[in-house]
Structure 1
């Protein structure tokens, strides 16, 4: 899930398009802190891991082999078809010791926040989710995790920043790009069905709420970098530009002609190998201070 691109954010096609880049961008340092957290927990029963907004299972696919076992995953998403993909993937996965992971799936909306979804978990994870959520939902989640003494590994939360990159990787900042980015940032705060969305403020809001609730918090910048001229990344870059354009038009429909010209010019620049794209994200790991 994500609002890096504002339409069709839950589609299997979009999730597949971004998965390789997500894996390359994530913070291995924070994943290591999650491993340490679980290693310090008492052995015996399987480690309980809850994946909120799991989509097609990319978080599961990345983490299962890196985390200690045995593992019992609870996958939660509103899309039954994506849960089918996630379950098929999970059936093939092993934990760090080579044992199969156990899975259960819950097809339901994340709103309202249900504390029962977190029952018996040691670690709560989510990826590319918090730009969509409301502050009140985050407060409910953090309160529940604090009550259960759980850690959280929250990855690839967009921070609202994006820009084009030239062939040398330097940011390209033209006035029209800045105007579209501002419109997109405004669009991010629209209610996505889960309350007024945090948009690019998600990482900062997450950190502040967790700190106030008594968690230790570590955070790393995990931006996407799509290189100019890389044909393997062209489809994703074009999808991003189209998404930013569509969001901007929803904010200012009277500017459709101007925004369409901007989109066409930037798509042509990407197709010609002249421009790449960067999209800002942050990863966050938090654990209860009293159990740190």
Structure 2
């Protein structure tokens, strides 16, 4: 996938086939950790600890599109051990960063991790990608993939009775907030968001992208297999005047502008006016913003006898 930087920032997630800015990943990591569902993480940890049939070796975890390793850093201390991670990403520099930082991590019982770095595309969804895993995880990925790729992934996970924990899948919604934290929008906001949502559905390298439909498609696909599915809203929420707002909000607004402009070049005057107005409001501490995401946990159906 070779989407431009503005497209990647607009989507809020790395493309499975492109180089992605470590700076952007670092900027968003604290907000991802604040926003994601700790309850679903706890449920995944409980499922691993009670893995049907017992577990004699390390728990296998595959992180799809791992980027610089934020998912690894968040999950490893919260999941039971010992753990063996397969980090998968197309970008060798991000993989090296993730592996280097992972070397200092411990699991919930204080043991070091075993980490395998796998530099490759996410397609095909084959045994080399999925083998020997108990839990499949991904963060901020699924708006960029296609329905057919999701179906291939679900089929692979079901065949292996793997659990899935997918976090921070954008749902296509975003809005600005006033100083009281209330959602505000005018006709220009609606127009830009509509263009952005259309741009989200362009092919990002794995077929026509799901965009904001991704969370609903994932839930439906897993539920249809008999998996036990839970979903939670995990929006980014940045208050007006919050000290960490601008380093995230400014590139987001620029990304939304650029995606909308690519979708409708004839709307450039409107888009330039909108961008300037919203950036001014953010810089003045008059506006905050919210970006919709959802987390998903899918556990295999219970075996006879409740295992």
Q: TM-score, normalised by structure 2?
A: 0.92
Structure 1 residues not aligned, in runs of 5+: none
Aligned 8 A contact 1:7 1:243 in 2: no
Q: 1:19 is matched with which residue?
A: 29
The answer as to 2:131 corresponding to 1:131 is no
List per-residue Cα deviations over 1:233-288 (Å, max 9, x = no partner): 21101111000000000000111122011101100000000000100000000011
SS of match in other structure, 2:218 = helix
Aligned 8 A contact 1:34 1:285 in 2: yes
Structure 2 residues not aligned, in runs of 5+: 15-19
- With 1-10 and 97-106 compared, the bigger mean Cα shift is at 1-10
**Shift, 1:6, TM fit:** 4.3
Distance, in Å, in 2 between the alignment partners of 1:238 and 1:75 is 30
Aligned 8 A contact 1:4 1:158 in 2: no
> Which residue of 151, 171, 185 corresponds with 2:197?
185
> Which residue of 240, 244, 255 corresponds with 1:228?
240
The answer as to 2:216 corresponding to 1:204 is yes
Distance, in Å, in 2 between the alignment partners of 1:182 and 1:254 is 15
Q: 1:38 is matched with which residue?
A: 48
Q: TM-score, normalised by structure 1?
A: 0.97
The answer as to 2:5 corresponding to 1:5 is no
Distance, in Å, in 2 between the alignment partners of 1:51 and 1:242 is 29
Q: 1:169 is matched with which residue?
A: 181
Aligned 8 A contact 1:164 1:172 in 2: yes
- Say if 1:57 and 1:232 are closer, same or farther in 2 by CA, change over 3 A: same
List per-residue Cα deviations over 1:65-95 (Å, max 9, x = no partner): 0000000000000111110110011101000
Distance, in Å, in 1 between the alignment partners of 2:268 and 2:12 is 17
**Shift, 1:5, TM fit:** 1.7
Distance, in Å, in 1 between the alignment partners of 2:101 and 2:150 is 28
SS of match in other structure, 2:80 = coil
Q: 2:17 is matched with which residue?
A: none
